[in-house]
Amino acid sequence: MAPKRDLLPGTLDMLVLKTLTAGPLHGYGLALHIKQRSNDVLQVDEGSLYPALQRMRQKGWITAEWKQTPNNQRARYYRITASGRKQLGFRETGFAELLEAIHRVMRSV
Partner 1 sequence: MTPLELLRRLRDRFRRERLARELEEELRLHRALLERDRLAGDTRRRLGNVTRYREETRDMWSLGSFDDLMLDLRFVFRALKSELGFSLAVTLTLALGIGATMAMYAVIDRVLFEPLPYPAPASLVQLADVQNRNREAPADYPEYLDWKERTRGILSDIGVSYNTGEVLQTADGAEQLQGARVSVSLPGMLGLRPIVGRAFRADEEGAGAPRVVILSDALWRSRFGGDRGIIGRAITLTGQPYVVIGVYPSTPNARQPSAYQWSHGKPPLFWLPLQLDDKSSPRGLHWLDVVGRLRPGVTLERARAGAVAVATSIQQDEHITNGLHINPLGPVLVGAYRQPLELLLAAGVLLLVIACANVASLMLTRAAMRTREFAVRTALGAGQGRLLRLVLAESLVRAGIGGALGFGLAFALVRAMRSRLGDALPRLAEVSIDGRVLALTGAVSAACGLALGIIPALRAARGDVAGTLRGGGRGTVGSAVRDRARRVLVVAEIALSFMLLATAGLLARSVSKLLDVPTGFDPANLVAGSAWLPSTTYPDSVSQRNFFDRLLGELGAVYGARRVTLTSDLPIASGVDGTITVEARSDKDGPMPNADKRIVGTNYFDVMGARLVAGRLLRSTDVLGASPVVVVNQTFARQIFPDESAVGKRVGFDWGIDGLETIVGVIADVREGPLAQPPHPAIYISAEQRPNSFMHFVVRTSESPAAVAATFTRILRHVDPTIPLVETVTMTSVMRSDIQQQRISMMLLGGFALAALLLAAIGLYGVISYTVAQRTQELGVRAALGALPRDLMALVLRQTALFVAIGLALGTAGAVAARALVASQLFGIGAGDPATLATAAAALAGVAFVATVIPTRRAAGADPLTALRAD
Q: Which residues bind partner 1 (CB under 8 A)?
A: 26-28, 31-32, 43, 45-48, 50-51, 54-55, 57-60, 66, 73-76
Q: Toward partner 1, which CB reaches closer, 53 or 97? A: 53
Q: Toward partner 1, which CB reaches closer, 10 or 102? A: 10
Residue 91 CB, shortest distance to partner 1, in Å, is 18
**Residue 48 phi/psi, 5° resolution?**
-95, -35
Residue 24 CB, shortest distance to partner 1, in Å, is 14
Q: Toward partner 1, which CB reaches closer, 48 or 95? A: 48
Residue 25 CB, shortest distance to partner 1, in Å, is 12
Burial of 49 (0-12, 13-18, 19+ CB in 10 A): middle
CB 43 within 8 A of CB 2: no
Q: Toward partner 1, which CB reaches closer, 14 or 62? A: 62
Contacts of 84 (CB under 8 A, 6+ apart): 17, 20, 56, 60, 61, 62
Could you give the angle at the alpha carbon of 16 between the alpha carbons of 15 and 19, nearest 5°? 85
